[in-house]
A and B are shown apart, each in its own frame.
Chain A
Amino acid sequence: MFSLSLKMSLARKGRLILTSLAIILGTGFLSGTFIFSDTLSRTFDRLFTDVFRDVDAYVRSTNFIEVPFGGEQRAGTPIEALDSVLAVPGVKDATGDIQAFARIIGKDGTPLGSDNGPPTFGGIASASVAGLWNIEDGRLPNGPSEMVMDRSSAEKGDFVVGDTVRVNAQSGSREFTLVGIANYGDISSPGGATFALFDQQTASEFLLKPGFVDAFLIQGDGTMTQEELATAVNAALNPTLKLETLTGAQIAEETKDQIGAVVGFLSTFLTIFSLIALGIGCFVIYNVFSITTAQRLRENALMRAIGASRKQVTTTVIVEALIIGVLGSILGFVVGIGLSRGLSALLAAFGVDIPTSGLAIRGPRIATTIIVGTLVTLFSAVFPALRAGRVPPLAAMRDTAFERIGSRKFRFVIGAVIAVIGVAAHVAAAAGVNDWLLGVGVVCVFAAVIIYGPLIAKPVALMLGAPLARRSVTGAMARQNAARNPRRTAGTVAPVLIGVALVTAFSAFAASVRSEIRSVIGDQFGGDYAISAPQNGFGGLPIALSDEVAALPEVQQATGLGFGTVELDGEGRFVTVINPATASGLVDLNMVQGDQSKLSANGVVVSNNRATTEGWNLGDTLEMKFVDGTVKDLVIEGTFIPNGFFGSYVINREAFAGTTNSLFDSIIYVVMKDGVSEEDARAALGAVSEQRGLGTLQSREEFIDAQADQINQILGLIYGLLALSIVIAVVGIVITLLLSVFERRREIGLLRAVGMTRSQVRFTVVGESVITSMFGAVVGVVLGIGEGLALIGTLADDGIAAFSLPLGSTIVILILAFIIGVIAAVYPARRATRVDIMQAISTT
């Protein structure tokens, strides 16, 4: 039986390929994700192994704060401790290490690297072999006016040894003489980041805080193991400095783990989208098997009539699924290799530039891809296979493919039950019971819609096709064709529907966030101009810049706004840092109690909600620990209603005074004096900011737009990833149409015989396709808006209040669905017009 089934399915190569297409694309994305993240981890693993090759021990501060969303911020290490390290027997050499924010300004005045690109670092270049940098050209920097940069930055900025280079860092903007060009390990620059390197003392005072580095890199003389060396070094450290010593292996491992966490997050994110794509592929495969088993009904019935058992008929379908699953997954893996490159390109287009050197293709990943792909295919084919087995032998005597919709009542009841569960979960999630209920709700609602699909397919297709039908008899036939096999139509529509619903829900969510940002910033920002630092990456505007701006003769008032990381009330948190002396009128906190302009250096303003839930009152104190270990008791001096922008805690920038913590402003708000023209304002502000490579100068409107549009980047990435699901959905439409055209070739021949022109034939196929895609789009948009509403309802307490309808995107989606319908029909329509009249009418 197996070999017979094998023969039977191999005889239908065309269909084999068509069905495989869905699984090829689905597994392709999955394996692409695998290859991409493996390549990434391997690249970083190698890099850090390489970089810490000569580091035997590593000294750093024990003061750190866990940052919300993972990661940590660690206090600096005092340079004074370096001497005691160097004095330890067994230490051959040691040097300070810094990785801080520094931006190299290009010769034309624009900073190297983009705002959204890889980070821009400042660091130390030293003679120590333990140092991470190898000088290629020139020499090491020495003294406060010399620097070295990485080779790829030198190439990008067209710098040569001897040039004068401007660099911005925490402490301001300075000019240096370029004395050398260096390589990081063996490569010109890791991950496209830029590096400005100085001698230890210069780096410390320019990049960090005078007297501090991030850590010490220590090389042993080979007489001790790394563990012995680390123990010896640790023993020599002054305990009051709160330092710890790690072995070289430990720090390399820790660094790899940190990067691994980021790669892991990225790969989880990508895996979610590839699973969505695979899920959509399931529908396509299920649909193809449903259609082909319906078309083969007579053949199967004949086999039953001549004595094949149910099981044997089912087996033939399962064997076919097995072949398709295995072949498709293998091809999918090959496609994945190409897609992994595509993924790098996609992420690069959205500013996540990632180094990849040679693709990492691992056996277990190949196995996983093939197993997952095959299981998915088998799973999708099970129901059609069982249905094929259930065909009565009598059906052999009957005419063409027919399809029964199981029990309508059963379908109706099951759908209703799931829908009710889904809606209930949504309501509970919105009521704040538990956010994961939202996930349950979304899955149930989608499931209910899909279960109802075959029940609503006919009326919906007839309704959507009505305008076409009114046009011409060909339109009427397109409409009837779309409605004639409700289950088939529903199966074809489902993937489109899911894809469109997801896109719409994300658009709705983004539109709401955007309008929220717009109104929040609009409400709170009373200035004329804003100077803002890049939002991602680290670093920002030197704290002194706001004072410099305020002192300009054209400027009426200017205030800086920053974000810091501290441990507050026992947890690492982001706090908003303002300058209360200059903030009034420019940064409006929406105070409930207290006065924001009276916020003292030891005061904190907390959100009204937190104060209520924690039972805090004005005058209570909260313990705040800085990254460097400094602890302060802050007095609650006011409460405010936050709005998604300010977080829950606001402190005075003076609170940082006397600590070694770095503090940047993210934004400086500016009001100009009356009568200063836009031209003069831009010239004056630009001179101290943009022209020095510090931040971006924007008018009020530009700033508000830019802030609101940040969400578009993420949205773009999500769209890009969902695009593959949409492609699979379109492939689904193409396959269904092809199978339908094949099934109806006699009908098409007859139509051609009685006078239907080729273009009319084409029109009916295109019409059917457009009705199908519009079906998916319309229902998907409705569902997506519903889910978007639910999402925002659930997240409302997290600062997003109002739902805004993504009208523009909705219209775009509907137009795209129409175009997709037309495109999907191109090939099937061509096949339809080529139907041989003679063959069609003479086959009996």
Chain B
Amino acid sequence: MTQAAATATAASKIYGSGDSEVRALDGVTIAFEKGKFTAIMGPSGSGKSTLMHCVAGLDSLTSGSVAIGDTQLETLSDKELTTLRREQVGFIFQAFNLIPTLNALENIMLPLSLGGQEGDMQWINTVIDTIGLRDRLEHRPSELSGGQQQRVAVARALASKPSVIFADEPTGNLDSKTGGEVLGFMRRAVSDLGQTIVMVTHDANAASYSDRIVFLKDGKIAGEMTEPNPEKVLDYLKHLGE
């Protein structure tokens, strides 16, 4: 097994208490390998987003531990977590990914600018060329299509060469063609540029762009699959639903 970019060990997350207690995560142990594209699937409410947020340092666990690279997140202060997110983690959300007052390029450079860094311009140029939006860099998000916005979000996530990129249903709001383009770029970011991506998705097609799929159910890992294709995934999901 290659080295892990991010790991969760016996991770549990409980919302509320007593009768209204919800175990969003229930003792999840998992490692996301470096240089791989991992998908997380599972029924609605199974804890996918919760897992992702906790591993990414956006939310904290009730018990268990998570690490990005060698860094354990539990001991970090808010400031250290923020710095870690800025430098080691990339994010792509389903929607509202971009700051409306900044243009595409500024959005891409945002995590670097926040850290007061120049960034690796050669790398950033490669990323921009890969997503194919060089002629749109001066445009504001409101002047870009949904697909273009998501591509800018991918570029932003890649810009700081993070240890791992988390994407929560990045194509959830896109039609299948545009979604396919965005997923294609994510795939190339892993295969050609050596990045690590963890993506939550409901879509079997989207999941089949990944190297490995982890299935969650009721806050627990229900199984996994490597070298997925859409049919295999749909089959498995049907079987998981029973």
- In contact, A753 and B99 (Cβ under 8 angstroms): no
Residue A240 lies at the interface, judged by CB distance under 8 Å to chain B: no
Enumerate chain A residues within 8 angstroms of B95, measured Cβ to Cβ: 844
B113 interfacial by beta-carbon distance below 8 Å: yes
Q: Which among B99, B106, B116 is the interface contact of A472 at CB below 8 angstroms?
A: B116
Minimal Cβ-Cβ distance residue in B for A746: B96
Shortest distance from the beta carbon of A475 to any chain B beta carbon, whole Å? 10
Q: B113 to A757, Cβ gap below 8 A?
A: no
Most B CB contacts (10 A, CB to CB) among A750, A753, A756, A837 go to A753
Stretch at the interface among B4-12, B83-91, B120-128, B220-228: B83-91
Interface centre among A472, A747, A841 (most CB of B within 10 A): A841
- Chain A residues 704 to 762 lying within 8 A of chain B, measured CB to CB, are 746-747, 750-758, 760
Q: Do B85 and A754 touch (CB < 8 A)? A: yes
Are B91's CB and A473's CB within 8 A? no
- Interface size class on chain B is 20 to 34
Interface-centre pick from B91, B94, B96, B102 (highest chain A CB count, 10 A): B96
Q: Shortest distance in angstroms between B49's beta carbon and chain A's nearest beta carbon?
A: 7
B239 part of interface (Cβ distance < 8 Å): no
Query: What are 23 inter-chain pairs, A to B, with CB distance below 8 A?
Result: A472-B113, A473-B106, A474-B114, A476-B102, A476-B106, A477-B101, A480-B101, A484-B100, A484-B101, A747-B100, A750-B99, A753-B91, A754-B91, A754-B111, A754-B156, A755-B87, A755-B111, A755-B115, A757-B114, A838-B53, A842-B49, A844-B94, A844-B95
Are B53 and A747 in touch, CB under 8 angstroms? no
Interface residues of A (CB under 8 A from B): 472-474, 476-477, 480-481, 484, 746-747, 750-758, 760, 837-838, 841-842, 844
Q: Which residue of B lies closest to A837 (CB)?
A: B58
**Can you list the 7 inter-chain pairs with the closest CB atoms, starting with the nearest?**
A755-B86, A473-B113, A480-B101, A757-B82, A755-B111, A755-B85, A754-B111
Interface residues of B (CB under 8 A from A): 49, 53, 58-59, 78-79, 82-83, 85-87, 91, 93-97, 99-102, 106, 109-111, 113-116, 156
| Min CB gap B228→A, angstroms | 27
A760 to B83, CA, bound (A): 12
Which chain B residues lie closer than 8 Å to A484 at the CB level?
100-101
Is B114 touching A473 in the complex (CB atoms < 8 A)? Answer: yes
Q: Are B49 and A756 in contact (CB under 8 A)?
A: no
In the complex, chain B residues whose CB is within 8 Å of the CB of A841: 58, 93, 96
Contact pick for B83, options A753, A755, A837, CB 8 Å: A755
A481 touches B110 (CB 8 A): no
On whether A750 and B58 interact (CB within 8 A), knowing A755-B83, A755-B87, the answer reads no
* Known contacts A473-B110, A477-B99, A477-B101: A754-B86 contact under CB 8 Å: yes
Please tell me which one of the listed residues B53, B101, B106, B110 contacts residue A754 in the complex, with CB atoms under 8 A apart.
Answer: B110
Number of interchain pairs (Cβ within 8 Å): 70
Find out whether the CB atom of A754 lies under 8 angstroms from the CB atom of B78. Answer: no
Cβ of B114 and Cβ of A747 under 8 Å apart?
Answer: no
CB proximity of A455 to chain B, nearest CB, Å: 20
Inter-subunit contact B86/A758 (CB<8 Å) = no
* Chain A residue with Cβ nearest B94: A844
Tell me the bound Cα distance from A838 to B94 in angstroms: 14
Closest to A402 in B: B142
Q: Are B83 and A757 in contact (CB under 8 A)?
A: yes
- Chain B residues with Cβ under 8 A from A477's Cβ? 99, 101-102
- Complex formed: what's the CA distance from A473 to B102 in Å? 10
Q: Please, how many angstroms separate the alpha-carbon atoms of A477 and B109 in the complex? A: 13
With a cutoff of 8 Å between Cβ atoms, the chain B residues found around residue A473 in the complex are 106, 109-110, 113-114
CB <8 Å contact, B106 and A758 = no
Query: Which residues from B are CB-within-8-Å of A757?
Result: 79, 82-83, 114
What residue of chain B has the Cβ atom nearest to residue A757's Cβ? B82
Nearest-neighbor residue (CB-CB) of B93 within chain A = A841
Which chain B residues border A755 with CB–CB below 8 Å?
82-83, 85-87, 111, 114-115
| Chain B: minimal CB distance from A836 (Å) | 10
A244 to B116 Cα, complex, angstroms: 89
- In the complex, which residues of chain A have a beta carbon less than 8 angstroms from the beta carbon of B83? 755, 757
A753 and B85 in contact, given A473-B113, A837-B58, A838-B59 (Cβ under 8 angstroms)? yes
Q: By the criterion CB–CB under 8 Å, are A751 and B99 in contact? A: yes
Tell me the complex Cα distance, A838–B111, Å: 18
| Least CB distance, A462 to chain B, in whole angstroms | 11
Give the docked Cα–Cα distance between A745 and B138 (Å): 25
Q: Which residues of B contact A837 (CB under 8 A)?
A: 58-59
CA distance A844 to B78 in the complex (A): 25
Which residues from chain B contact A474 at a C-beta distance below 8 Å? 114
B196 to chain A: closest CB distance in Å? 17
User: Residues of B contacting A480 with CB < 8 Å?
Assistant: 101-102
Chain B: CB-nearest residue to A750? B96
Q: What are the residues of chain A within 8 A of B53 when measuring CB–CB?
A: 838
Q: Are A838 and B58 in contact (CB under 8 A)?
A: yes
A753: chain B residues at CB < 8 Å are 58, 85, 91
Q: Smallest Cβ distance from A402 to chain B, in angstroms?
A: 10
Q: How far is the CA of A750 from the CA of B93 in the complex (A)?
A: 9
Distance A750 CA – B116 CA, assembled complex (angstroms):
18
Cα distance, A474 to B101, chains bound together (Å): 12
How near does chain B come to A395, taking the closest CB pair, in angstroms?
15
Known: A473-B106, A838-B58. A754 touches B100 (CB 8 A): no
If A473-B110, A753-B85 touch, whether A758 touches B115 (CB-CB below 8 Å) is no
- For B57, give the chain A residue with the smallest CB separation: A753
Residue with the greatest number of chain B CB neighbours at <10 A, chosen from A472, A755, A837: A755
Interchain CA distance A844-B96 in the complex, whole Å: 9
8 more contacts with CB within 8 A, not counting A755-B82, A758-B78, are: A484-B101, A746-B96, A751-B99, A755-B86, A755-B87, A758-B82, A838-B53, A838-B58
B140 and chain A: residue at smallest CB distance = A480
CA distance A484 to B141 in the complex (A): 14
| Shortest CB distance A172–B (Å) | 77
* A756 to B112 Cα, complex, angstroms: 10
* Bound Cα distance from A472 to B112, whole angstroms: 11
Closest to A844 in B: B95
B residues within 8 A CB of A752? 82
**B36 vs chain A, min Cβ distance (A):** 22
In the complex, the answer to whether A750 meets B100 with C-beta atoms within 8 Å is no
Cα distance, A747 to B106, chains bound together (Å): 15
Q: With A and B bound together, what is the CA distance between A752 and B57 in angstroms?
A: 11
Most chain B Cβ neighbours within 10 Å, of A477, A484, A746? A477
Q: What distance in Å separates the Cβ of A682 from its nearest Cβ neighbour in chain B?
A: 64
Across the interface, which residues of A come within 8 angstroms of B114, CB to CB? Answer: 473-474, 751, 754-757, 760
A750 with B97: CB separation less than 8 A: yes
Query: Quick one: closest A residue to B168, CB to CB?
Result: A841
Minimum C-beta distance from B31 to chain A (A): 23
Closest B-chain residue to A752, C-beta based?
Answer: B82
Q: How far is the CB of B153 from chain A (nearest CB, A)?
A: 10
Contacts of A756 in B (CB 8 A): 82, 86, 114
